[in-house]
Amino acid sequence: TALPAIAQSLNRSPLAMQSAIISYTLTVAMLIPVSGWLADRFGTRRVFIIAVSLFTLGSLACALSSSLTELVIFRVIQGIGGAMMMPVARLALLRAYPRSELLPVLNFVTMPGLVGPILGPLLGGVVVSWASWHWIFLMNIRIGV
């Protein structure tokens, strides 16, 4: 994983870096339930664009973090976007496709969200060994744009 490299760069212990993980995970867990309501209230497309924008900007800010406090704050911003992205994307697909076509379409969107947490730490470790830890966040920007 990238945590030891981030900890060294920010002059913190690797154990202290858990707050960066917890802040993202807790934010996602708290906000996923309201994402559907936000999409109904403000429009699926608008909420999805805001979600991707927040996640992308949060990723950039995480890469530019110079302290653990900054990283935690920016992980919360990233988590707000992340909490809305997947559920709102699924909701948009449910509304856009007929029932007979939903399974392959939902699989296409859902698989990265399921595989990401499994492969993410491994990929992050590889990226950090070839480049700096900043790139684990900067990779998200290209996808978000």
Provide the strand spans (E) within the chain.
none
CATH code assigned at 51? 1.20.1250.20
Residues 7, 16: contact at Cβ < 8 Å?
Answer: yes
- What phi, psi does 101 have (nearest 5°)? -105, 0
Q: Identify the pLDDT of residue 9.
A: 94
Count of domains forming the chain: 1
Q: Identify the pLDDT of residue 8.
A: 93
Task: Record the tokens describing residue 42, joined without a space.
Answer: 């403000």
Over the stretch 35-89, which tens digit does the pLDDT of each residue have?
Answer: 999 999 999 999 999 999 999 999 999 999 999 999 999 999 999 999 999 889 8
pLDDT of 3 strictly over 90 = no
Q: Report the amino acid identity of residue 65.
A: S
Does residue 73 or residue 112 have the better pLDDT?
73
The distance in angstroms from the start CA to the end CA of the chain is 25
Residues 34, 67: contact at Cβ < 8 Å?
Answer: no
Domain residues for 109? Answer: 3-144
